[in-house]
Amino acid sequence: MDFDQRILVTGGAGFIGSAVVRKLVSDTAAQVANVDVLTYAGNPDSLSAVADSDRYRFYHVDICDSQALDEVFAEFCPTAVMHLAAESHVDRSIDGPAEFIQTNILGTYSLLESSRRYWSGLAGDEKKGFRFHHISTDEVYGDLQDDTSLFTETTPYAPSSPYSASKASSDHLVRAWQRTYGFPVLITNCSNNYGPFHFPEKLIPHVILNALHGKPIPVYGDGSQIRDWLYVEDHAIALIRVLEAGKIGETYNIGGHNEKRNIEVVETICSLLEELAPQKPDGVARYRDLITFVTDRPGHDARYAIDASKIQRELGWAPEETFDSGIRKTVSWYLDNETWWQRVLSGAYQLGRLGESAAPSKFKGDE
């Protein structure tokens, strides 16, 4: 990527966002602005490797705050926006959908308008080269009812949860801004991400940390739900590739080619921990003995699977990690980075945020 690229990343302290920021700073010459309000899922610790770079700056700004966004655009003068800021936990959306409507729909609207105002004031090559890259999820497609079909870029939307419905709404807004205003957008829809720096309430880190603490490992229903797993660093590379070479107005599905039943994922982690962390908590004979089946989530989708042939065919991207290699790296990272996740579990990572006191993380467990 050329040095004169100035990338504004929203949600850059989150799981996927921080991977994108780290990759941009370490592997390109781009200047990067991270716009993040730092909700519970935003963790500055995940950006320690790039925090001191002279090509990185942080703005503590809510994407729903139009005035603050306008000020960021005026100061940073981005050549592109990568929009990752979102509420993303399905269980939380069921318990309290209002925040998902606020951030994912109204926040996206606010960001689109600030971006469009800024873009409208550009001229020549600067205006022609500007891009708004909206990062979304495969959950907007609903679920697949058989074992062979795949989500494509033209699969009809059929969201099942408040979370996926809010993301579907944001996708529609982005497409409408391109159709109505000629605004230069790109959209990507990804499968389930996993890897280092993943917030501990999500399935894979939840399983790892519960096992290490000798706590029950909850599995929804019978664990037969199927997900396509994408290593987060592979996803970050794909997103940068789309920003560099994607065609305006196009959607690209990004998948890991790694379909696994949830129970397979859990059992694989338990087997890896037997090898990598053989000294178990008191009273635990085998990690897999901690697996506990719990009442299924309302409206739980049965299967997600991405057809990622378009991005491979048109942009030359394919995942580098298999599930076996990626999950081994992930388990090893959590074993080697106890300080990071201990600060999340204790709430210490939130100290100093607008006068907030530290509060322990919710620790629920879900993909």
Residue 129 lies in a domain: yes
**Between residues 145 and 53, the one the model is more confident about:** 53
In the chain, the percentage of residues whose pLDDT exceeds 70 is 95
Residue 205 lies in a domain: no
Tokens 């989500």: give the residue: 151
Residue 355 lies in a domain: no
Which pLDDT score is estimated for 361? 38
Which pLDDT score is estimated for 297? 86
* Catalytic site positions: 138-139, 163
327-332 long-range contacts (CB < 8 A, ≥24 apart) are 327/194, 327/204, 327/229, 327/265, 327/268, 327/269, 327/272, 328/272, 329/195, 329/196, 329/231, 330/194, 330/195, 330/196, 330/198, 330/204, 330/208, 330/231, 331/208, 331/269, 331/272, 331/273, 331/276, 332/276
Residue 157 CA to residue 165 CA, distance in Å, equals 9
Summarised one tens digit per residue, pLDDT across range 286-301 is: 999 999 999 988 888 8
Which pLDDT score is estimated for 354? 43
Residues 6+ apart with CB under 8 A from 336: none
Domain count, the chain: 1
Residue 341 lies in a domain: no
Parallel, antiparallel, or unpaired for β 217-220 and 251-254? unpaired
Range of the domain at 31: 6-200+229-262+303-323
Residue 288 lies in a domain: no
Which pLDDT score is estimated for 183? 98
Q: Which tokens go with 76? A: 């940073």
For residue 358, what pLDDT band results from cuts at 50, 70 and 90?
very low
Residue 297 lies in a domain: no
Which pLDDT score is estimated for 35? 98
Residue 103 lies in a domain: yes
Summarised one tens digit per residue, pLDDT across range 159-214 is: 999 999 999 999 999 999 999 999 999 999 999 999 999 999 899 999 999 999 99
Residues 6+ apart with CB under 8 A from 78: 6, 7, 8, 33, 118, 130
Residue 351 lies in a domain: no
CATH of the domain at 143: 3.40.50.720
Residue 352 CA to residue 307 CA, distance in Å, equals 43
Whether pLDDT at 153 is above 60: yes
Summarised one tens digit per residue, pLDDT across range 82-124 is: 999 999 888 899 999 999 999 999 999 999 999 999 999 999 9
Residues 6+ apart with CB under 8 A from 315: 241, 242, 245, 246, 252
Full-model pTM: 0.94
Q: What is the Cα Rg of the chain in Å? A: 20
